[in-house]
Structure 1
Amino acid sequence: MKQNKKIGLISYHSGHNYGTMLQAYALQFCIEKMGYDAVEYINYVDGKPFKEASFRVKLKKIKDKLNSGIRPLLYNFLYKQQFSTIKDKFDCFYSGCIKTSSVLYSSLAELKENPPLYDIYIVGSDQTWNPTFLKDNGAYFLTFAAEDADKNSYASSLGVALLTDEVKGIYANYLQSFNHISCRESYGCEILSGVLNRKIEHVLDPTLLLTPDDWQNIESPRIIDEPYILCYCLGYKKSIRNFARKLGETHNMKVYYIVSNYLDIQEENHLFGIGPCDFISLIRHASYICTDSFHGTIFSINYGRNFYSFCKRDGDINKGDNSRIPTLLKEFSLESRLKFDVFEEEPDIDYEKVNVYLNNERRQSIDFLNRILK
């Protein structure tokens, strides 16, 4: 039965990043599937937009780091013909799959001056409560909404395992008026539970609310016909690419690299122009996946793939954004899939056990979302 409530979502929904856009799509899709038609993202964009200027900076870094005598004409080609296809794919996905408010807000002041009105407000996922991005910005804590507004969060992420006392005080003030609060990381629940002296629900990342069948609605047709290994890395660790290369040699498979930075461009089978729909298709059909991406790991689990995950940065795996992937793997009892510099294969994953946990968590997470909506 269709519901008449108007629901306003807010999160990092427009960034040209696979996890950012796919988690935004997933939460909206799930709520619509539950019978709510009037669901949209508050079109608030405070991050760095995906502009050509940013690619010029990236291109300069590539040229400086490679320093291999490649002619500038080649870089011009990579920039104009290849990098631009990424922007086009994300823009196409955003305009076709993400519903937003007609009004664009570029600051908290604009939100407060002309606040968007909804029956229910939900702060989404994707590090919306990461203190690194806080900058005294209350937008992602719904400070622009009326005092008696129905304020909630679904899978909001702190992104870090520790908060300073100062930040805890700010969060306590911001969140005291929320009706339902949930986090996607267990340590986020523990931290906020202590700050607010109330239970904080642990729920799945929005992308896991959707089954592989749900994702088929937007997934691209198979891109690579042969068996392959997929490498998707956001960081600059050569050791991860080396791991993927050795895995390919062991299994006599080509390794394909989704271009994220200059290291990927140096690989023979690098892939430009990969949009969100292509991304999930590449994961679905890969024989093995090597990734330092949180959502790369999540989609690997959702699609039942054999994968190896790595921390994006050097240092303590329990600090900063390094902690997200180990925490996720522990929840699914997949700690052995976290690898470091040494090449070491693991047996294939027993997804019968993993899926029992996933299906149970999916049910509980959807139940929590239902409690917000009803």
Structure 2
Amino acid sequence: MKKIGIVSLYYNSVNYGGLAQAYALNRYFTDMGYESELISYDRIKKRKSIPEKRKKITSMSLGEIVEKCYRKAAEKIGQKCYAKRLDIRKARMKEFRDAIPHSVRYTEETIQRCENDYDIFVSGSDQIWKPGVVDAGFTFDFLKEPEKKTVISYSSSVSVKELPEDYVHFMTGALKKYSAISLREATTAKQFKAAFNRDVRVTVDPVLLVDESVWTEMASQKLLDEKYVFCYMLGDNKEQRRDIKKFARSQNLTLVTLPHIKQSSRFEVRVEDFAFGDKQMFEVGMPEFLSLIKYAEVVVTDSFHAGVFSYIFRKVFYLLERPTKNPNDVMNVRIYDLLSLYGTPDRLVKVGESLLNKDSKIINFLTIEQKVSTARQYSRMYLQEALNKNGR
């Protein structure tokens, strides 16, 4: 039996979407009859990644510097206030993460040791190929004899408007070992085709790749008795939060929020989420996360994966644009492409637009189901062909 090793943003992750897609891709491979696991790649101490231009502290205004200092101080205070509840969430996410088949921990210096452990290497989904994130581990540059392996990507995400010159140079060499390439977003797939002159497919996120029953069975029982709007925000926009409060009141629904935890060693809650929501949920693992969406009356979010699960559980939903100060960062493209897949552009709430002005017409989930089913079948065929390409 051939064994698959998947590299993703798996190691030590507490991100619902990131762990859901890692679980799903591995689950799909095992359902296909492969032995499969996540390569537990710890890149925290990495020395290099392909750079993305960042705003220097010297270019910030006095007001921005003061705001930055305030946020750090406030988040430290908030961390202490929420410490016990956050520890429970962290433990529950670790329990889910550890249950996903995975390798021993590897670093940039040791990852080459796994070469003989797998027949097939897969660059999995999530933003592992984004400038500023991608490195040699995420493109298997440690392989001494890549020609003896099957190396493919599945729904890797890039999410930038333009591919930096250093990035193109690095990826030109890195992609030579790949016999099949697929990305999650159509926009960046076009960029890859132009930059690297390669056949690049667009495939669904692994959460949509597996049967929907996987998630229905995983969701916990209903957590709350009352009817509610469920809100999960990754961004830090205050105006959007004020508008969401007004929307929940207009619907006569309880506003239930899940404060997003920043991916940091300090495990911090955003300042903007302090006291945001009628009920704040902290002790939430993956089954509880799914339950909060499954039993909501309405889902309001700027999270790609919360949008995916809203469809899976057939919930009325709105996807919010996330404001960005980085002109090269097109984080919202995954939202646009998801709504394009669904055929529901009316579910988008643009920056500055109010939920109160959105049309509340019923969503035709039968039409969405037909579109998703077609895309899912195409994605499954891509994987079937990619895993057997060149007779490897």
Query: Does the aligned pair in 2 maintain the 1:11–1:126 contact within 8 Å?
Result: yes
Q: Is the 8 A contact 2:159 2:329 kept in 1?
A: no
Counterpart of 2:6? 9
Aligned to 2:331: 321
Distance in 2, matches of 1:331 and 1:318, equals: 23
Deviations 1:188-224 (A, max 9, x none): 2111111221221110011111233121332222212
Q: Which runs of 5+ in 1 are unaligned?
A: 49-59
Question: What code does the residue aligned with 2:314 have?
Answer: G
Give me the whole-angstrom Cα distance separating, in 2, the residues matched to 1:287 and 1:216.
17
In structure 1, the partner of 2:298 is: 288
In 1, the alpha carbon distance for the partners of 2:207 and 2:7 equals 16
Distance in 2 (CA, whole Å) between partners of 1:158 and 1:42 is 20
Q: Distance in 1 between matches of 2:31 and 2:202?
A: 22
1:256 aligns with 2:266: no
Aligned residue identity for 2:238: K
Check whether the contact 1:233–1:293 (CA below 8 A) recurs between aligned residues: yes
Which of 301, 311, 320 matches 2:321? 311
Q: Distance in 1 between matches of 2:114 and 2:8?
A: 18
Which of these residues, 39, 44, 67, is aligned with residue 36 of structure 2?
39
Q: Which residue of 2 aligns with 1:55?
A: none
CA distance 1:47–1:63, shift in 2 (3 Å): closer
Give the aligned partner of residue 52 of structure 1.
none
The alpha carbon displacement at 1:330 in A equals: 2.4
Query: What code does the residue aligned with 2:105 have?
Result: L
Seen in structure 2, the aligned counterparts of structure 1 residues 363 and 139 have a Cα distance that, compared at 3 Å, is same
Change (3 A) 1:143 1:317: closer
Q: Aligned letter for 1:181?
A: I
8 Å CA contact 2:162–2:328 kept in 1: the answer is no
Structure 2 CA distance for aligned equivalents of residues 204 and 302 of structure 1: 13
Deviation at 1:176, TM superposition (A): 1.5
Q: CA deviation at 1:265?
A: 2.9
The TM-score, its normalising length taken from structure 1, stands at 0.86
Q: Distance in 1 between matches of 2:80 and 2:331?
A: 34
Q: Is the 8 A contact 1:185 1:327 kept in 2?
A: yes
Assess if the C-alpha contact under 8 Å between 1:231 and 1:241 holds in 2: no
Q: Which residue of 1 aligns with 2:92?
A: 89
Cα distance in 2 for partners of 1:239, 1:349 equals: 26
What's the secondary structure of 1:217's corresponding residue?
helix
User: Which of 141, 144, 152 is residue 142 of structure 2 equivalent to?
Assistant: 144
SS of the residue corresponding to residue 241 of structure 1 reads: helix
Instruction: Work out the CA distance in 2 between the residues paired with 1:226 and 1:172.
Output: 54
For residues 289 and 229 of structure 2, the distance between their equivalents in structure 1, rounded to whole angstroms, comes to 13
Deviation at 1:324, TM superposition (A): 2.2
Q: Scaled by the length of structure 2, what TM-score is found? A: 0.83
Alignment of 1:181-260 (within 5 A): 181-260=181-260
Identity level (%)? 28
Distance of 1:29 and 1:113 partners within structure 2:
24
Residue of structure 2 in register with 1:341 after alignment? 352
CA contact (8 A) 1:233 1:291 kept: yes
- 2:132 is aligned with 1:132: yes
Mapped to 2, the partners of 1:33 and 1:112 lie a distance apart of 27
1:301 maps to amino acid: Y
| Structure 1, 358-367 or 191-200: larger mean CA deviation | 191-200
Structure 2, unmatched stretches of 5+, are 46-68, 261-269
CA apart distance, 1:78: 1.8
Please give the secondary structure, in 2, of the residue aligned with 1:104. strand
- Residue 117 of structure 1 corresponds to which residue in structure 2? 117
- C-alpha separation between the residues in 2 aligned to 1:326 and 1:61? 33
- Superposition RMSD in Å: 2.4
